[in-house]
Structure 1
């Protein structure tokens, strides 16, 4: 079990509520088989809660009830599995091209009994034919201009893209403006979430897509 600080424990309870035990099991998977199979580096173990799981899970506050969410480049389930744990009302499709990651994700989904998650092995640019989402999420996939090309088609003309970004968010938005507009992005904003829970709030680029 990965120990939490008092602040992390308080934040995790606020985010996951009665499903905190499932979140703890997910973190245990990350800290064991996730490291063993190369989904995360061993140095990340002490930072799993704050830097990874809680950093992603607070994004759930931005998503409307009962939304269909596609998570691009899901990897170790960040943010996809954290959103599924925090919000059982959401329907998650995790899009991941690498087989070893897909196998691991399915193992974790089965172990946690997450009936609101489907894992799809495909490249994001090929997924639009089989995935339609209200919201597309991502974290640490690529620069925003390329990420918009991968994500926005999954919305099929209407919805929003939520990309977890770092301090370069404003620069990425500036560089991607033309691409976003061409793809149907009507409004782009940079938000911070988790201010009241996390030492370092999460930065999210939100792009509203409409006809």
Structure 2
């Protein structure tokens, strides 16, 4: 199966109806990630076939949980996950990719230019130093930090009524137990990622 066919099959399982143009953008992003990965070490997963499930479909599993938001911050975006796939799937969202690593944000800027994503902004900054003009109603991270550190560094970025959406592997019992009393866990959702034989969970948190 080609990675495009695998992507289409995965999108069906995630119940995401994307256009052919969106599929082409996801394919283009995958190609850029594979190309730049040789030099910039953006991800440990190097085979394009595995990148479909590990990166594209895993990132896209976030999309059904973004309803109600207009501004999404991807903290510690790295190679652009989940921010870029989410931005492609939801062109109505304004997405900021935040990372302190200059090499990674160089890649992200190039990817945004080559893919033509007007709804994506790339920022090179430490999260605690980032002071945007407008706050975010959705803040996500995929491999940035443990939950307590994630929320400790970002309260100045969350809009009133906003939500944290942290992407995790196995059910993070210990991390949840260490959360400060400034946030509450609204729900922990098991997530099924097509082609990925591993546990995944989405932790939705709100400020108290």
- TM bin, normalised by shorter chain, reads 0.7 to 0.9
RMSD: 2.4
1:46 aligns with 2:49: yes
- Name the SS of the counterpart of 1:47 in structure 2: helix
Q: Distance in 1 between matches of 2:59 and 2:97?
A: 14
What is the CA-CA distance between 1:134 and the residue it aligns to?
Answer: 0.5
What is the CA-CA distance between 1:5 and the residue it aligns to?
Answer: 7.9
Which consecutive residues of structure 1, in runs of 5 or more, have no partner in the other structure?
none
Structure 2 CA distance for partners of 1:17 and 1:155, relative to 1, 3 Å = same
- Name the SS of the counterpart of 2:91 in structure 1: coil
1:189 matched to which residue of 2? 187
What is the CA-CA distance between 1:10 and the residue it aligns to?
Answer: 1.1
TM-score normalized with structure 1 length? 0.85
Q: Distance in 2 between matches of 1:58 and 1:147?
A: 20
1:143 aligns with 2:142: no
- Counting only pairs closer than 5 Å after superposition, residues 55-204 of structure 1 correspond to structure 2 as 55-65=58-68, 67-176=70-179, 179=180, 181-182=181-182, 185-194=183-192, 197=194, 199-200=196-197, 202-204=200-202
2:18 matched to which residue of 1? 17
TM-score normalized with structure 2 length? 0.87
Structure 2 CA distance for partners of 1:47 and 1:34, relative to 1, 3 Å = same
- Name the SS of the counterpart of 2:67 in structure 1: coil
What is the CA-CA distance between 1:125 and the residue it aligns to?
Answer: 0.9
Q: Distance in 1 between matches of 2:172 and 2:161?
A: 23
Structure 2 CA distance for partners of 1:54 and 1:168, relative to 1, 3 Å = same
- Name the SS of the counterpart of 1:158 in structure 2: strand
Higher helix residue share: 1
Contact 2:127/2:153 (<8 A) preserved: yes
Q: Distance in 2 between matches of 1:101 and 1:86?
A: 22
* Deviation by residue 1:55-107 (Cα, 9 ceiling, x = unmatched): 11110100124510111011100011011011111110111111111111010
Moved more, 141-150 or 121-130: 121-130
Contact 2:99/2:124 (<8 A) preserved: yes
Aligned residues: 203
Q: Distance in 2 between matches of 1:94 and 1:5?
A: 25
